[in-house]
Structure 1
Amino acid sequence: MTMTAPDLVGLDHYAVNVADLQRAADWYENILGFHVLQKWNTTWMVGRGNIKVGLFLRPNAKPQPDIDNTVLIQHIAFLVDGDKFARVHQFLNEKGIETEGPDDSGIAFSIFFKDADGHSLEVTAYHPAAEPLRQPGRA
């Protein structure tokens, strides 16, 4: 019997370690419009719509000094419609968030920035003519 891959329906959430739950939750609310969805003792879930982030309290955690030579999740990318990309970039600048880019990969524009704990985030918008890659045999 041949096993097939699980029929996943989406990404539920991603999790990050943070030094201060309230500071992290405030940042995600003020910058990305997320709200606290659930609070446990050392973990809070924030999000909006179908995007959620688990904030895990780790007050003694230290940032990785060299992420390019460390096995870890490098960054998380949020998708926006192309007509909203420039507005998001302007909004981040107005909020005093340092950004890199925009970069053009040939199929999408991206800007990169960091959250309150230094996690790398991206906002990306695909070019109008570009379509996401599809798996062979999938519609």
Structure 2
Amino acid sequence: MPSTPLDLNGLDHYAINIADLQRSADWYEDVLGLHILHKWNTTWMVGRGNLKVGLFLRPEADPQPDINNTVLIQHVAFSVDGDKFSDIHQYLLQKGLAVTGPEDSGIAYSIFLQDPDGHKLEITTYHAS
């Protein structure tokens, strides 16, 4: 029996505020292969399989100037199989994206990039056990 009645089985989606729906949908499709699943007036859901991102149109919103001194979600990390990590890194570089890393945290290798609105995304793979 779980220690809590909340027997969660995964993350359904995460939601982000963005300045331009089409620009963000195009970027998430081109870079991450996420397709438009549904469109509401000011919100679009993009995704593939069990991975989804809610794009919330907020054209007047100001970006956070210093995420290290603000309480917010700092980044989202996507996991990949270790044998695909290097190919994904090269793919992102070939697309001309600014990618930092790889970094070794001691338990995983990670690379980082930003979407068109500056949301930090991580691609990570854990060390072999």
Verify same fold: TM over 0.5: yes
1:1-139 alignment, distance < 5 Å? 4-129=4-129
> Which residue of structure 2 aligns with residue 135 of structure 1?
none
Residue identity matched to 1:55:
L
TM-align CA RMSD? 0.9
Partner Cα distance (1:112, 1:50) in 2 = 22
TM-score, normalising length: structure 2: 0.96
- Name structure 1 gaps, 5 residues minimum: 130-139
TM-score, normalising length: structure 1: 0.89
Q: CA deviation at 1:5?
A: 4.0
Which deviations, in whole Å up to 9, do the C-alpha atoms of 1:78-109 show, x marking residues without a partner? 00000000011101101111011000011110
Which deviations, in whole Å up to 9, do the C-alpha atoms of 1:44-85 show, x marking residues without a partner? 000011100000000011110000000000000000000000
Q: How many residues align?
A: 127
> Structure 1 vs Structure 2: percent identity of aligned residues?
70
